[in-house]
Amino acid sequence: MRISCPHCGDRDRREFTILGDADPVRPDGMDDDAGAMLEYVYQRTNPAGLLREYWYHGAGCHAWLVVERDTRTHAVTGVVTARQAAIERGRGGR
């Protein structure tokens, strides 16, 4: 599997470490109950198909990326920096 890093170009997936699903939104610990945090931490889906995931480019530019890939074929369909993904989702970014 190849990942096209926005900073370094096309790279082998062994240069990256996967964190997991990029779409869950962390509950606000002060406003949500313990059940919401339990759901966020432990109850994850394992879909067959397109999934957006966080990947860390540890052997390259050290950037966090959001990679969209098909979990059935591992075909990568899109890559953006995590910061850009946060801006696009309205979460800001630093």
pLDDT value at position 89? 84
CA 33 to chain CA mean position, Å: 25
Helix, strand, or coil (residue 21): strand
- Amino acid 60 reads G
pTM, 2 dp: 0.83
CA atoms of 81 and 50, how far apart (whole Å): 18
Q: What is the mean pLDDT of residues 61-70?
A: 98
